[in-house]
């Protein structure tokens, strides 16, 4: 049974950056639920994929060094450990992972044509389609079966998990490996990172919930790795559970125990989280108020989808945050959804006239701090809301 635990207010589509403020944006109530049986956390309002993932999707995986390094490292591991004949990536975005593979050994699935075209133009085989049963059947006709399927930050964006996993099992070879990675619910709750929730993130997986989902499809997690990407993600290594001796690594059991110890199996944990989120909102607003009373200039850094949740939930406008900087080409000169805050193309010169920077991309703190050494040396300060609103 789904039990409601938090309302994050009326939220526009998180990646729908506006060219001008006259456009009226649709907003949807962002309600979070906990399923007492499967332990799955999800949002209740499901927006059709076509409204969110289309030819204007701005997010680019290759934009940060942290992500390109992470994908490069993974590609080396995949080649060394599994050496797949063919790798299929669901949600290949702008090709951050697949460019590390031989063009004859990799297939991408990417519904956003602006992104799919980037890798198509480089000569990769890309299906510019949504991941579903009919696409899986089409790929099966052409390739028979696939021995490694990979997907990062994509499956949690698709409402029908039954279709997602039955399509995967249609295509995965008998001994095939499925690797998926997504933000970790444990890290999200521990860090009070409520901005992990927005309309695209229909689910935030815990290991507990994923085990329950995979069971239905006779799939089993045999290894996992906790990653720093996206503020704390988990990469799962999955196979068919064919009753032969599957060597399940101890870290899978340890992770489940850690989650149970933290209370991810209990509704009361999420009620507590809801209280902490409201406290966090109040503390962040107070922090901004105090800084503005001193007439200091605050800008935002990294116009993330996550920022949309914070700005709309905390009612933050351009009187508080003057503008955001971001390196993504498709975000430049647009406005953060639901706000009147403009996004400017990143230019290091901006930092000279700024006192405080709100870390929209807090998950890239290390990379950003490295880049902004000068700002820090000159007494500039950062503001973050994780795990608590504070000045760094
Ligand atoms: P990210 O946190 O990956 O995602 P989401 O939108 O899913 O919340 O987005 C990071 C954003 O921050 C992206 O728009 C690029 C931007 N960015 C910069 O502008 N400069 C940087 O140095 C880094 C690392 C990211």
Which residue numbers in the chain have pLDDT < 70?
A: 243
Q: Is 372 in the pocket of ligand 1 (CB under 6 A)?
A: no
Provide the sign of the torsion angle of the four alpha carbons 311, 110, 333, 20, taken in this order. Answer: negative
208, 192, 225: which is closest to 263 by C-alpha?
208
* Per-residue pLDDT tens over the stretch 242-263: 867 889 999 999 999 999 999 9
Q: Is 368 in the pocket of ligand 1 (CB under 6 A)?
A: yes
Mutation choice for ligand 1 from 63, 230, 362, CB with most ligand atoms inside 8 A: 63
Give residue 64 CA to ligand 1 midpoint distance, Å.
Answer: 7
- 84 alpha carbon, distance to own chain's centre: 26
Return the pLDDT at 245: 80
Which part of the chain has CATH 3.40.50.150?
33-266
Return the pLDDT at 23: 87
Atom 7 of ligand 1 has which residue's CA nearest to it? 305
Return the pLDDT at 243: 67
CB 172 within 8 A of CB 82: no
The bridge status of strand 2-11 relative to strand 28-35 is antiparallel
**303 CA: nearest ligand 1 atom:** 14
DSSP states of 335-384: B-TTS--EEEE--GGGGGG-SEEEETTGGGHHHHHHHTHHHHHTT-EEEE
Atom 9 of ligand 1 has which residue's CA nearest to it? 304
* Helix (H) or strand (E) run with residue 258 in it: helix 250-262
* Alpha carbon distance 87, 391 (integer Å): 44
**153 CA: nearest ligand 1 atom:** 7
* Per-residue pLDDT tens over the stretch 123-147: 999 999 999 999 999 999 999 999 9
What is the CATH superfamily name and number for domain 33-266?
Vaccinia Virus protein VP39 (3.40.50.150)
Return the pLDDT at 334: 97
Other C-beta atoms closer than 10 Å to the C-beta of 390 total 13
**331 CA: nearest ligand 1 atom:** 14
Other C-beta atoms closer than 10 Å to the C-beta of 267 total 15
Return the pLDDT at 65: 92
310, 303, 297: which is closest to 345 by C-alpha?
303
- 138-167 burial, b if ≥16 CB within 10 A, otherwise e? ebeeeeeebbbbbbbbbbbbbeebeebbeb
- What integer best gives the mean pLDDT of the chain? 97
Mutation choice for ligand 1 from 16, 152, 157, 304, CB with most ligand atoms inside 8 A: 304
Atom 12 of ligand 1 has which residue's CA nearest to it? 302
Query: For the domain with range 268-391, which CATH number is right: 3.40.50.720, 1.10.3720.10, 3.40.50.1970, 3.30.1390.20?
Result: 3.40.50.720
Which part of the chain has CATH 3.40.50.720?
268-391
Other C-beta atoms closer than 10 Å to the C-beta of 105 total 15
Q: Is 16 in the pocket of ligand 1 (CB under 6 A)?
A: no
**304 CA: nearest ligand 1 atom:** 6
* Alpha carbon distance 381, 83 (integer Å): 46
């Amino acid at each position: 049974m789904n039990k409601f635990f938090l309302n994050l207010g009326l939220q526009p589509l998180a990646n729908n950056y506006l060219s001008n403020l006259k456009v009226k944006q649709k907003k949807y109530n962002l309600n979070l639920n906990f399923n007492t049986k499967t332990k799955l956390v999800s949002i209740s309002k499901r927006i059709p994929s076509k409204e969110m993932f289309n030819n204007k999707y701005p997010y680019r995986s290759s934009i940060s060094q942290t992500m390109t390094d992470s994908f490069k490292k993974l590609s080396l591991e995949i080649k060394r450990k599994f050496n797949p004949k063919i790798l299929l990536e669901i949600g290949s975005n702008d090709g951050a992972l697949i460019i590390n593979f031989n063009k004859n050994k990799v297939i991408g699935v990417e519904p956003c044509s602006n992104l799919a075209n980037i890798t198509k133009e480089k000569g990769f085989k890309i299906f510019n389609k949504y991941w579903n049963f009919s696409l899986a059947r089409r790929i099966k006709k052409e390739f028979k079966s696939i021995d490694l399927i990979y997907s990062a930050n994509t499956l949690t964006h698709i409402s029908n998990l039954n279709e997602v996993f039955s399509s995967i099992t249609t295509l995965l070879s008998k001994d095939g490996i499925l690797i998926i990675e997504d933000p970790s619910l444990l890290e999200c709750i521990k860090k009070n990172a409520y901005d992990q929730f927005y309309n695209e993130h229909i689910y935030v997986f815990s290991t507990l919930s994923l085990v329950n989902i995979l069971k239905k499809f006779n799939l089993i997690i045999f290894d996992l790795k906790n990653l720093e990407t996206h503020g704390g993600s988990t990469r799962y290594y999955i196979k068919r559970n064919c009753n032969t001796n599957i060597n399940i690594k101890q870290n899978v059991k340890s992770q489940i125990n850690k989650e149970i110890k933290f209370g991810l199996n209990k509704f009361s944990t999420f009620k507590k989280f809801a209280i902490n989120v409201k406290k966090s909102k109040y503390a962040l607003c107070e922090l901004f108020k105090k800084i503005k009373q001193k007439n200091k200039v605050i800008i935002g850094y990294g116009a993330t989808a996550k920022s949309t949740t914070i700005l709309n939930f905390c009612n933050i406008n351009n009187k508080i945050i003057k503008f955001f900087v971001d390196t993504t080409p498709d975000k430049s000169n647009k406005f953060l959804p639901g706000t009147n805050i403009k996004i400017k193309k990143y230019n290091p010169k901006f930092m000279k006239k700024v006192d405080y920077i709100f870390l929209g991309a807090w998950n890239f703190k290390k990379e950003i701090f490295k880049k902004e050494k000068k700002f820090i040396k000159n007494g500039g300060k950062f503001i973050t809301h994780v795990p608590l609103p504070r000045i760094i």
